[in-house]
Amino acid sequence: MSRGKTRRKTVWVCRECGHESSGYFGRCPSCDAWGTMVEQLEAPVAANRFGEPRSFQRLTEVRSAERARLSLGSVEFDRVLGGGLVPGSLVLLGGDPGIGKSTLLLQTALRVAEQGRTVLYIAAEESPEQIKLRADRLGAPSEGVLLLAETALDRALEEATQLRPALVIIDSIQTVYLSELDSSPGSVSQLRDCTGRVLQFAKRTGIPVFLIGHVTKEGLIAGPRVVEHMVDVVLYLEGERFHQHRVLRAAKNRFGSTNEIGVFEMSDAGLIDVGNPSELFLSERVANAAGSAVVAVLEGTRPILIEVQALTSAAGYGTPRRVATGFDATRLQLLVAVLTKHAGLRLADQDVFVNVTGGIRIVEPAADLAVALAIASSASGIPLETDAVYIGEVGLAGEVRGVHSLERRLQEAARLGFARAYVPASSRFPLVGAGLHLVSVRTVAEAVSALAARAVRARPDVIEPLPE
């Protein structure tokens, strides 16, 4: 690696306790942690994160950035950002390799260029030819997109300063480097100092910058997480690689809510906005299958219907497994305990698997009732009502607790043709049922026995054998 003439001094900083020393230690002299010392550039005097020293300003004199947000030409993307991109903001886009980060941002570059603006795409990972191949799939190329194949960050930012584009995209933060540092690209010190340099560029010029960061196997250590605290917005693009849709989520947003999600579908021509995610998430549902329940969760301002699946099966030796995908594992254990204790389900010798379809991660407790009933349904082999949604938080005593914004969830269910909704009995009445038949539920036990009763009604031919 070439070394710049104006080498700045480097120091070694402990990742754990922040202890600084001029030399490397395998074990931090201050907190005794092993292998936590990372190399960092010593901060230049008088520089702050906005590039230059400043005197104070009156709060009333600070210009609001709100007016000038840049639309990225995608309703979903703009919504996640809080209504477009704020000038001078630094946005980190993280995600697994191959999930579609480069695709999303190249598409964004093309769309912004369509508005007659210039976008600089710093390609530090792929050759311009590879990027051109991708662009060909995404539709009409645009004059406004400029590619720069450069891994030396200083040179790339110099170009950007000269060019003054409307947007800069760096693909990726793990492959660019600063020559003053001895460590290799992608190391913690390079990640931090490169991000710091880009941050100064963004604040100094007012040009918004996207940084792409791969989530590595070590995730927490060398992945985008180490720079999360430095940037304005952290987005993660998620989804299962072999599934069509992708979810864009804000993990941090200085300019908007972190609750909003953007849903996209990966097609032959890039990522397409999905305006009606509920329809997509329910499209593969099998009618009358045991272990499936539909819940209406609220993602930001938007209610989304999602199918929750559960499977119980005889466990082998040892502790039975409780495995959750898209749902909190501890919460699942809690629900299994509640079902065992309060609804009389025998799950002690059963493995329990729960899967939230569509690669969605449910964080809301409002999905508890649906998860609990999906488990009960799988354990009993009795399907839940296909045209019903289940909404409610489950407490430790087996009670079903109220959720916020119930009306909005019910409206979405009605819109998608659902006929009934199981809702917490404590919900404020009269409820606007949005045309749904509402069934109020006080406890999980009550809902589970309603399920069992349904099976008897549905199969009058089943006669209990007499005891011998």
Nearest approach in angstroms of CB 136 to ligand TYD is: 9
CB 271 within 8 A of CB 107: yes
Say which residues have a Cβ less than 8 Å from residue 337's Cβ, sequence separation at least 6: none
**Does 424 sit near ligand TYD (CB under 6 A)?**
no
User: 353 with 311: CB under 8 angstroms?
Assistant: yes
Nearest distance from C-beta of residue 332 to Mg ion, angstroms: 34
In angstroms, what is the minimal distance from the CB of 109 to ligand TYD? 12
CB of residue 171 vs Mg ion: minimum separation in angstroms?
Answer: 6
Pick from 82, 95, 186, 358 the residue near ligand TYD by CB under 6 A. 95
Q: How far is the CB of 252 from ligand TYD (least distance, A)?
A: 20
| Residue 174 is a binding residue for ligand TYD (CB under 6 A) | no
Displacement of CA 253 from its chain's centroid (Å): 12
Residues 79, 101, 111, 245: which binds ligand TYD (CB under 6 A)? 101
- Which stretch in 97-105, 159-167, 369-377, 428-436 sits in contact with ligand TYD by CB under 6 A? 97-105
User: Does residue 137 bind ligand TYD (CB under 6 A)?
Assistant: yes
Pick 102 or 278: Cβ nearer ligand TYD? 102
Cα-trace Rg, the chain: 27
Segment contacting ligand TYD (CB under 6 A): 14-22, 36-44, 101-109, 200-208? 101-109
- What lies within 8 Å, CB to CB, of 449 at 6+ separation is 343
Shortest CB 141 distance to Mg ion, Å? 18
Q: Find which of ligand TYD, Mg ion, none residue 103 binds, CB within 5 to 8 Å per kind.
A: ligand TYD
Helix ranges, 164-228 (H): 188-205
Binding test (CB under 6 A) with ligand TYD, winner from 89, 103, 278, 312 = 103
Contacts of 38 (CB under 8 A, 6+ apart): 12, 13, 14, 15, 187, 188, 189, 192
How far, in Å, CA of 441 to CA of 423, rounded? 6
- Is residue 132 part of the contact set for ligand TYD (CB under 6 A)? no
Torsion angles phi and psi, residue 425, rounded to 5: -65, -25
Copy the structure tokens of residue 43: 């901060």
Contact of residue 285 among Mg ion, ligand TYD, none (CB under 5-8 Å per partner type) = none
- Smallest gap, in angstroms, from Cβ of residue 102 to Mg ion? 3
Q: How far is the CB of 268 from ligand TYD (least distance, A)?
A: 6
Q: How far is CA 183 from CA 41, 176, 178, 200, 467, in A?
A: 11, 12, 9, 21, 77
Q: Which CB atom, from 176 or from 367, has the smaller least distance to ligand TYD?
A: 176
Is the Cβ of residue 99 or residue 338 nearer to ligand TYD in the bound state?
99
Using the CB atoms, write b or e for 341-352: b if 16+ within 10 Å. ebbebebeebbb
139 interacts with, out of ligand TYD, Mg ion, none, CB within 5 to 8 A per kind? none
Partner touching 1 among ligand TYD, Mg ion, none, CB below 5 to 8 Å by kind? none
Question: Binding to ligand TYD (CB under 6 A): which residues in 307-366?
Answer: none
Q: Give the C-alpha separation, 109 to 165, whole Å.
A: 11
Smallest gap, in angstroms, from Cβ of residue 176 to ligand TYD? 15
Does residue number 244 form part of the binding site for ligand TYD (CB under 6 A)? no
Q: Which does 100 bind (CB under 5 to 8 A by kind): Mg ion, ligand TYD, none?
A: ligand TYD
Please tell me whether residue 98 binds ligand TYD under the rule CB under 6 A.
yes
**Strand order, beta sheet including 233-238:** 145-149, 119-123, 167-171, 209-214, 90-95, 233-238, 245-253, 261-267, 270-273
* Run of H or E residues at 372: helix 368-380
Angle between helices 368-380 and 444-458 (to 10 degrees): 40
Looking at beta carbons only, is 242 or 317 nearer to ligand TYD? 242
72, 108 Cβ separation under 8 angstroms? yes
Residues lying near Mg ion in the complex (CB under 5 A): 102
CA angle 211, 216, 217 (to 5 degrees): 165
- Beta carbon nearer to ligand TYD, 101 or 331: 101
Q: Starting at the edge strand that comes first in sequence, how are the strands of the sheet with 10-14 ordered?
A: 20-21, 10-14, 37-41
Residues 258-277 that bind ligand TYD (CB under 6 A): 266, 268-270
Instruction: Give the residue with the Cβ less far from ligand TYD, 210 or 353.
Output: 210
State the number of CA atoms in the 13 A half-sphere of 435 facing the CB.
Answer: 9
CB of 147 to Mg ion, least distance (A): 14
| Partner from Mg ion, ligand TYD, none contacting 141, C-beta within 5 to 8 A by type | none
Query: Which residues is 149 bridged to in the sheet?
Result: 123
Is residue 252 involved in binding ligand TYD (CB under 6 A)? no
Residues that bind ligand TYD (CB under 6 A): 95, 97-103, 134, 137, 266, 268-270
